[in-house]
Amino acid sequence: MDGNGRWAKQKGFIRAIGHENGTKSVRETVETCAELGIENLTLYAFSTENWNRPKLEVDTLMKLLVSSLKKEIKTLQNNNIKLNAIGNLNSLPKKVFKELHEVITKTQDNTRMTLTLALSYGSREELISVVKEISNKVKNNIISLENIDESVINKHLYTQNLPDVDLLIRTSGEQRISNFLLWQIAYAELYFTDVLWPDFTKQHLYDAITDYQKRERRFGKTSEQLS
């Protein structure tokens, strides 16, 4: 979800207004995905690198997160959506952690879609934690070195209960991954759009999905093998 700051700047507003308007796109995207029968949606809301932004902006984003969680619990319940979070959640301010935990608990039995928020998330940090956990298990003879395979790695990632990414959408014209789900996007289809996140609507999401539907996902095989 990129481009909140530029959206605000273009309109002569402070960056916080861009973030505030970005929450509308979040609601619309979440509801549309649920309507479409998408079972998993992951939103990159705050990266480990975002902590390096000016304190005022970080504080604004954290406050917005708490108020959005309080406000949107209704949307989640009405749409039967389960909230999940990935990232270094212990580094979040106590208030955010508490609210997040509360909404996760309240929505845990919802079944239509899982909405995962990547918060204080960085893929490299995630992979470091995987290496540490697995090394520790090897050291304590819980796993043998020979048995480390893709499924062992998968089980130790923050995304352990989620499938691989099918479609990754980045808004605002930037064409890079920025430390997001590096392992999990190995075979994802990438979609970049110039639309700034606060302008991203249901129609833009449909456009991305229509584009995705035209892709041939070969997973290393030949086209002939697929048909």
- Contact residues for ligand IPE, defined by CB under 6 A: 1-6, 46, 50, 61, 172, 197
Judge whether 195 and 22 are in contact, CB under 8 Å: no
CA angle 85, 88, 94 (to 5 degrees): 85
Nearer to ligand IPE (CB atom), residue 5 or residue 122: 5
Q: Which token pair is 131?
A: 């290496």
Stretch that binds Mg ion, among 1-9, 38-46, 65-73, 150-158 (CB under 5 A): 1-9
Nearer to ligand IPE (CB atom), residue 154 or residue 179: 179
We find the least distance from the C-beta atom of residue 132 to ligand IPE, in angstroms, to be 27
We find the least distance from the C-beta atom of residue 24 to ligand IPE, in angstroms, to be 13
Task: List residues with catalytic annotation.
Answer: 2, 50
Buried b (16+ CB within 10 A) or exposed e, 41-52: bbebbbbbebee
Q: What are phi and psi of 115, to 5 degrees?
A: -100, 115
Nearer to ligand IPE (CB atom), residue 29 or residue 130: 29
Nearer to Mg ion (CB atom), residue 156 or residue 170: 170
The correct pick among 2, 20, 72, 189 for binding Mg ion (CB under 5 A) is: 2
**DSSP state, residue 190:** E
- Site size for Mg ion (CB under 5 A): 1
What one-letter code names the amino acid at 75? T
From Mg ion, ligand IPE, none, interface partner of 87 (C-beta below 5 to 8 A by class): none
Judge whether 217 and 187 are in contact, CB under 8 Å: yes
The residue of the chain with the least Cβ separation from ligand IPE equals 5
We find the least distance from the C-beta atom of residue 57 to ligand IPE, in angstroms, to be 8
Q: Of residues 46-105, which lie at the interface with Mg ion (CB under 5 A)?
A: none
Nearer to ligand IPE (CB atom), residue 64 or residue 153: 64
Among 48, 34, 18, which residue's Cα sits nearest to residue 171? 18
Q: Which token pair is 135?
A: 């090394």
From Mg ion, ligand IPE, none, interface partner of 1 (C-beta below 5 to 8 A by class): ligand IPE
We find the least distance from the C-beta atom of residue 92 to ligand IPE, in angstroms, to be 13
Look at the alpha carbons of 118, 124, 127, 133 in this order and tell me if their dihedral is positive or negative. Answer: negative
Q: How far apart are CA 199 and CA 11, in angstroms?
A: 12
From ligand IPE, Mg ion, none, interface partner of 189 (C-beta below 5 to 8 A by class): none
Q: How far is CA 224 from CA 124, 216, 219, in A?
A: 36, 11, 13
Q: Where does this chain bind Mg ion (CB under 5 A)?
A: 2
